[in-house]
Amino acid sequence: MKVDVLLGLQWGDEGKGKIVDVLAPRYDVVARFQGGPNAGHTLEFDGIKHVLHQIPSGIFRSKTRNVIGNGVVLDPIVFQTEIGKLSKYNLDVRSNLFISKKATLIIPTHRLLDQAQEKAKGDDKIGSTLKGIGPSYQDKIGRQGLRVGDVLSPSFREKFNKLVNVHMEILKLHDVSFDWPELEKAFMDAVKFLKTFNLIDSEYFLNQELSAGSTILAEGAQGSLLDIDFGSYPFVTSSNTVTAGACTGLGIAPRHIGEVYGIFKAYSTRVGSGPFPTELLNEEGEALRKEGNEFGSTTGRPRRCGWIDIPSLKYSIMINGVTQLLMMKADVLSIFPSIKACVRYQLADGKVTDQVPYELIHERITPIYEELKGWNCNLKGLNEKELPIELVHYVEFLEAQLGVPISLISTGPDRKETIHRFKK
């Protein structure tokens, strides 16, 4: 058996949560491989709307086991709150959720450092979710981080104090106010709670599942254009959000990777700072935000909106080895009589390219658009055969541009509002 990977091709919020939940019944295991509480993955079904942050989006499917992998940065306080919010659904979370001992812990000072670092950047701020992501990955790479498995050690408190002291020295240089005894107590309570869950050697768990013939879906967080290596650096997150991140974030060898599902919105959005060539700073952008309800699932911030960006999608498809595309939010484009798609960029020196330039940040990019006729009709309840011809043309146009089949079209936030075109 292989591990299929589902990940975002844009700047996050493509609809990963919805589709992992839709596909989860086909899989024995769903595993998150990077990111942490910066993610907000929304699921809608049976009149319920629920946002997950660190817990994999297979959790509502009773036969699917869920793994938080070693590549994740886990905040125990957020974890406790998330579990609390799930309690009303009567799920068997304790038997269906497994957490890697090698996942990195986010401690309260990481969140304070995130605030301090962003404040110090002034106008150049990343627009971080302030969940402590950057500082916790810094400590991981700096070889001084704490890991989930450490909570089982008798010397955990000592290790924790040592790291807190390092952080406090840095925080002294910044103007951040906090009530440490309160933060520390909340963290220690949450650690006690975390210890009551299945803390496992997830790399063994997953490889044994593979050997036993189980099917596994790796769930990405953020999007490829926020990847630490390939995103619009420095306006990125601090992890590898691409397919390779599933290998390092789960302990899965590259030869075990199967399908790579690349998920994208039928247009583009971005939350936080950084370049966005097709951003619409006009009433069309406003209309997309309103119709698509484009407000962050984690922070509530309004998302920046624009037309679809084919050069950047091609780039993401290349880096990830995408085998099938999943197109989300087709219904949102129904408001427009015509739709634009950026097919190439014109750079400041007049050069036209379909590649993403190194200096995306400082390069003045003028998108070159192709205009397509819109469908201007309600897609609710339609099946594949009933789709308006203009939408079929949009899908065929994207498939031809991107060279990868579109295997799923999403026409609304609910599980049921999903058109499957999978070949297998």
Interacting partner of 412 out of ligand GDP, ligand IMO, Mg ion, none (Cβ under 5 to 8 A depending on kind): ligand GDP
- Site membership for ligand IMO, residue 266 (CB under 6 A): no
Span near ligand IMO by CB under 6 A; candidates 34-42, 162-170, 257-265, 326-334: 34-42
Amino acid at 136: S
Helix (H, G, I), strand (E, B) or coil at 18: helix
Write down the least CB distance from residue 220 to ligand IMO, Å: 7
Interatomic CA distance for residues 313 and 311, integer angstroms: 5
Out of 328, 343, 360, 387, the only residue in the binding site for ligand GDP (CB under 6 A) is 328
* Separation between Cα atoms, residue 110 and residue 80, nearest integer Å: 17
- List residues bridging with 97 in a β-sheet: 66
In sequence order, what are the beta bridge partners of 29? Answer: 65, 216
Residue nearest to ligand GDP (CB): 42
Q: Which of 8, 15, 36, 40 binds Mg ion (CB under 5 A)?
A: 40
Q: What are the φ and ψ backbone dihedral angles of 13, each rounded to 5 degrees? A: 60, 30
Active site amino acids: 13, 41
State the minimum distance, in angstroms, from the CB of residue 346 to ligand IMO: 26
Q: Which does 71 bind (CB under 5 to 8 A by kind): ligand GDP, Mg ion, ligand IMO, none?
A: none
CB 73, CB 133: distance < 8 Å: yes
> What's the CA gap between 401 and 334, in Å, rounded?
21
Task: Report helix, strand or coil for 126.
Answer: coil
CB of 292 to ligand GDP, least distance (A): 6
Among 4, 13, 209, 219, binds Mg ion (CB under 5 A): 13
297 binds ligand GDP (CB under 6 A): yes
Token code pair at residue 18 = 């919805």
Nearer to ligand IMO by Cβ, of 80 and 129: the residue is 129
Examine residue 226 and tell whether it contacts ligand GDP (CB under 6 A).
no
User: Could you report how far apart the first and last alpha carbons of the chain are, in Å?
Assistant: 15
Instruction: Confirm or reject binding of residue 134 to ligand IMO (CB under 6 A).
Output: yes
- Assess contact for 77 and 107: CB atoms under 8 A: no
CA distance 368 to 341: 8
Taking CB under 6 A as the criterion, the residue among 6, 9, 11, 16 binding ligand GDP is 16
Q: Which is nearer to ligand IMO, 248 or 376 (CB)?
A: 248
102 binds ligand IMO per the rule CB under 6 A: no
**Stretches 160-168, 220-228, 360-368, 388-396: which one binds ligand IMO (CB under 6 A)?**
220-228
DSSP string, 139-166: HHHTT---BGGGGGSTTHHHHHHHHHHH
Contact indicator for 73, 103 with CB cutoff of 8 Å = yes
Query: Using CB under 6 A, which of 64, 128, 136, 232 touches ligand IMO?
Result: 128
Structure tokens at 211: 């050997």
Distance CA 221, CA 228 (A): 13
Residues that bind ligand IMO (CB under 6 A): 8, 11-13, 35, 38-41, 126-129, 131, 133-134, 221-223, 226, 237, 271-272, 297
User: Which residues sit at the interface with ligand GDP, rule CB under 6 A?
Assistant: 8, 12-18, 40-42, 44, 292, 297, 328-329, 331-332, 410-413
